[in-house]
């Protein structure tokens, strides 16, 4: 059976003068729906690739000698991940200042700053990663070959910035404040006379 369907708008002749209920109108709607479906699939592939790249970054950044990571280590890795483009941003800014501060920013600079801000907002609401706190899950991540189809087997979890342990920073600042504000208060001995007079 021959496939004589029109797959692109170019193949449909006289497309400007189409009656709404004609075969040509149905061909045009079919072509538009096909283009929309292909665009959605392409977008899904690109978002899937970003997720794969993120998982691979964490897979190789995780220490091989440890069976799994602690919560502090995971949040440190996320912090490193968010700062991975800082050097390049500084370099682009220095080049811009060297050539004159009035020049327009390079498109790469805008892309990196937008990416960083979106990832930071994602970290505030919930950063989706493999569960690096479970040994079995980390083992599966290390065996994973980077295929999108193998991702559902690995358990995922959300890491939020609000869940990051900050106890060490708080205790350090409290100790510093205590050493700065140590004040000796003199104690006064006050004798109270408890004798009462009677009339």
CATH of the domain at 138: 1.20.1440.170
Query: Does residue 84 sit within a domain?
Result: yes
Per-residue pLDDT, 14: 65
pLDDT above 90 covers a percentage of the chain that reads: 41
Element holding 169 (H helix, E strand): helix 167-180
pLDDT tens column, 161-174: 998 887 444 445 55
Query: Does residue 198 sit within a domain?
Result: no
Element holding 143 (H helix, E strand): helix 135-143
CB neighbour burial string for 148-162, b if at least 16 within 10 angstroms, e if fewer: eeebeebeeeebebe
Count of structural domains, the chain: 1
- pTM flag (> 0.85): no
pLDDT tens column, 122-156: 999 999 999 999 999 999 999 998 888 888 999 99
C-alpha separations of 32 from 9, 16, 38, 132 in Å: 8, 15, 10, 44
∠ CA 72-75-79 to the nearest 5 degrees?
135
Query: Does residue 132 sit within a domain?
Result: yes
Q: Which residues does the chain have with pLDDT short of 50?
A: 167-171, 183-188, 190, 192-195, 197-199
Query: Does residue 106 sit within a domain?
Result: yes
Per-residue pLDDT, 46: 59
Domain range holding 38? 9-165
């Amino acid at each position: 059976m021959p496939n004589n369907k029109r797959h692109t708008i170019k193949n449909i002749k006289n497309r400007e003068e189409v009656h709404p209920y004609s075969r040509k109108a149905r061909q045009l709607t079919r072509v538009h729906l096909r283009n929309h479906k292909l665009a959605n699939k392409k977008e899904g592939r690109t978002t899937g690739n970003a997720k794969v790249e993120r998982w691979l970054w964490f897979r190789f950044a995780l220490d091989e000698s440890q069976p799994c990571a602690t919560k502090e280590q995971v949040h440190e890795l996320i912090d490193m991940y968010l700062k991975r483009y800082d050097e390049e941003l500084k370099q682009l800014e220095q080049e811009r200042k060297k050539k004159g501060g009035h020049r327009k920013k390079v498109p790469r600079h805008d892309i990196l700053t937008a990416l960083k801000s979106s990832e930071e907002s994602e970290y505030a609401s919930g950063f989706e990663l493999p569960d690096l706190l479970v040994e079995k899950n980390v083992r599966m991540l290390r065996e994973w070959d980077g295929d999108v189809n193998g991702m559902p087997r690995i358990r995922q979890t959300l890491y939020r910035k609000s869940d990051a342990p900050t106890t060490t920073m708080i205790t350090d600042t409290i100790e510093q404040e205590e050493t700065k504000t140590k004040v000796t208060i003199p104690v006064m001995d006050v004798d109270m006379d408890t004798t009462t007079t009677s009339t």
